[in-house]
Copies of this chain bind each other. A is one copy, B any other.
Amino acid sequence: MSEFDLRKPNPLLIVISGPSGVGKDSVVQRMKEREFPFHFVVTATTREKRPAEVNGRDYFFVSKDEFARMIEENELIEYAIVYGDYKGIPKEQVRSAFASDKDVVMRVDVQGAETVRKLAPEALLIFITCESEEELEKRLRERKTESPDSLSLRIATARKELQRLDAFDYVIINHDFHLDDTVDKVRAIIAAEHLKVHHRTVTL
């Protein structure tokens, strides 16, 4: 009976994004800790592995030649140069997770999210933000960061990124000290999306 066929799994491509300073990494980290049954994308990077890092868990560490090949052969969903090193998301990960009906979660910056949207219009884009522009500035100020950019540049970038909200599907305010609330909201969004009559169908 065709109506009930609609309830077959429809794996989602879930993009967690938002301006820097809002806590995207903490959100994804907590989702992992809470053992959500998703595939969390591992980014490929050309930067050097640090002692505490594990290849394939924290990143896929690849050479610049290998990264160049991946770009050439269109194997990346999106990539960017971050402080001189290349970072990118291999399509293969999404494909293999989808093959086993698993939702895929990736954390990308705002510009990257828009690139994903172009490539996969049916991706689910969640914008993480904080209460106000002032709060965002405060967080950026207090943040220990590896970025060599000046604080004023980071604030200006984050402000611009706040204005990209319209390109996203959902928005969650990540209140300080309420990380689990944010994660609960992400979970509600994903649960609801799986109950939609008209599915998002992502092909890569």
| A176 on the B face (CB < 8 A) | no
Contact A131 B192 (CB under 8 A): no
Which of A34-42, A58-66, A88-96, A159-167 contacts its partner? A159-167
| A189 on the B face (CB < 8 A) | yes
Contact B192 A171 (CB under 8 A): no
A34-71 interface code vs B (CB 8 A; 1 in, 0 out): 00000000000000000000000000000000000000
| A180 on the B face (CB < 8 A) | no
The distance in angstroms between the C-alpha atoms of A108 and B167, with both chains bound, is 34
Chain A at the B interface: SS class: mixed
Cβ contacts under 8 Å, A6 to chain B: 165, 171
Contact A7 B173 (CB under 8 A): yes
| A172 on the B face (CB < 8 A) | yes
* Residues A168 and B185 in contact in the complex (CB < 8 Å), given A4-B132, A192-B191: no
Shortest distance in angstroms between A67's beta carbon and chain B's nearest beta carbon?
33
Cβ contacts under 8 Å, A173 to chain B: 7
Cβ contacts under 8 Å, A172 to chain B: 195
Question: Can you add 4 more A-B contacts, CB < 8 Å, to A1-B133, A188-B195?
Answer: A170-B197, A188-B188, A188-B192, A191-B192
Instruction: List 12 contacting pairs A-B, 8 Å CB cutoff, sorted by A.
Output: A1-B162, A3-B129, A3-B165, A4-B131, A7-B171, A170-B192, A185-B191, A185-B192, A188-B188, A188-B195, A189-B195, A191-B192
